[in-house]
Chain A
Amino acid sequence: MNLCVVDTLESGGYALPMETREEAILVEQARAGCEQSFEALVRQNSERMIQLAWRMVNHRQDAEEIVQEAFLRFHRSLDRFRGDSLVSTWLYRTVSRLCIDYLRRERIKRRLFFFSRPDDEFDPLAQAPANTIRQDDQAIARQELVHLMRALERLSPRQRAVLTLRHQEELPLKEIAEILGLSEGSVKVHLHRAVQGLRNSLAEMENSDD
C-alpha cells in the first residue's frame, strides 16, 4: 500500500478552514501521484456532482457518465489546479458545462433524427431508487412529469442550466454567472426566458390534452 506523505502546504494554507485545509492536502497528495487521495476527493464530491448532473440532464446513467468525465478532466488538470477555488467549485463549473454540451448534442440528435427518449425514460420516479425521491415529488402525476420533461427539452441548454442552478441548486445569480461564464444580466434574461418557456409549453400541452 502506498502511503502519501505531504508535510508542507503552500503559504497561507493553515489559515484556511479545516475542511478546505484537508482538501488542499488531498489535492497536493493527488498531484504527487497518490491514488488514494484522488479517490478520496472523488468520494467526497461524487454525490453532489451526480445530483447536479441528474437535475440538469434528467437521466441518471448519463449523469454518472458526465461526472466521471469531469473527474477525469480534474485528474488531468491537477498540475494546473492552483487551489484558488474549492475542488467542488471547479467540478461544479466543469459538470455544468459538460451538461450543456450533452444537452446541445441531444437537441441536435432530436432535430436531425426526430430522436426522443421513450416516455418511460423520462420518469424520474422510475429511474431512481424509491428512497431518493421526496414525498412531494411522488405526489406529482406521471403524465404531468412527462409534460414537464418535454417542456424542459424545449428550453435551450443554457436556459435549462440556469434554471437548474437557480431553482434546484439555489445558487446566487453571481455564482451562476461565474460557473457558466456569463454576465449577471444574461443569467437574469436566461432565467426569465426559461421560466416563461416552461410555462408556455406546459400551458400548450395542457390545452392539447383537453
Chain B
Amino acid sequence: MTNTKCLSNQDLTLYCTGALDPDEMRIAAEHISSCSDCARHLTSLRKTLAAMPRHQLHLSEAEKLQFSDRVMRKVKTGRRGNRLPIWATTATAVAAGLLTVFIYSPSDKPSQFNPAEVRQFAELDLVENIEMLEMMEMLEMMELLELIDDKG
C-alpha cells in the first residue's frame, strides 16, 4: 500500500474500523488526505458504521444477583439431573421402550383394567360361540318335542 495508490475496498473498511497495522494506518491516512475518491468512500463507510448502536449495559447489583440466582438454580437442577449413572439411564430408557411396545402392541388378550374393553371382548367371545348356542337351543327343542310325544 503506497500513499499514491488508491486503497482497496477491503483496506478502506479495515482503516475505517481501525483494523490495519499502525504503519498501514499512517500510510492510508496520508493517501486519504490527498484523494477525494477514497475520502468520499471512507465518509460513506463511517456513516454506515456510525448507524450501528452500541448497547451499553449497566446492571445494578440487584440485577446481577437476580441473574446469578437464575444461573445457580439451573446449575443445581443440572447437577441433580446428572446424579443418575449412565447404566441407570440406559436401563430406564430400555424399560420405557419395552413398556411402550407392550402397551401399544396388538394383543389377543383384552386388558384387565378397562371395563369397556372387557365387555367388548366378552361380547366377541359370545359371537364366536354362537354355533354352540344354536345347538343347545336345538337340544332344548328336541327335549320339548319328546315331552309332548310322551304326553301325546
Contact = CB atoms under 8 A, between A and B. Distances in A.
Nearest to A50: B57
A47 B9 contact: no
B69 to A, nearest CB: 8
Interface in B1-34: 9-10, 13-14, 16-19
B70 interface: yes
Contact of B52 (A47, A168, A188): A168
Contacts, number: 112
A181 B43 CA distance: 32
A46 B19 CA distance: 27
Contacts of A124: 53, 55
Contact of A132 (B58, B67, B71): B58
- Overall SS of chain B's interface: helix
B91 interface: no
B17 A43 contact: no
B55 A51 contact: yes
A191 B17 contact: yes
A42 B74 contact: no
Given A47-B59, A191-B13, A167 B52 contact: yes
A68 interface: yes
B90 interface: no
B44 A72 contact: no
Given A54-B55, A168-B54, A42 B19 contact: no
A148 B50 CA distance: 11
A199 B75 CA distance: 43
Nearest to B8: A192
Given A128-B55, A134-B56, A42 B48 contact: no
Nearest to B82: A76
A47 B52 CA distance: 20
A144 B55 contact: no
A71 B71 contact: yes
Contacts of B71: 39, 42, 46, 68, 71-72
A200 B13 CA distance: 13
A192 B59 contact: no
B14 A192 contact: yes
Given A191-B13, A202-B51, A132 B74 contact: no
A195 B48 contact: yes
A99 interface: no
Interface in A179-199: 188-189, 191-192, 195-196, 198-199
B50 to A, nearest CB: 9
A149 B32 CA distance: 30
B48 A202 contact: yes
Given A42-B72, A145-B53, A167-B49, A196 B13 contact: yes
Interface in A54-81: 54-55, 64, 67-68, 71-72, 75-76
8 interchain residue pairs of minimum CB distance: A51-B57, A192-B10, A42-B68, A199-B48, A192-B13, A195-B13, A47-B59, A137-B53
Interface of A: 35, 38-39, 42-43, 46-47, 50-51, 54-55, 64, 67-68, 71-72, 75-76, 124, 128, 131-134, 137, 140, 144-145, 148, 152, 163, 166-168, 170, 173, 188-189, 191-192, 195-196, 198-199, 202
5 contacts: A68-B71, A188-B14, A196-B9, A199-B44, A199-B48
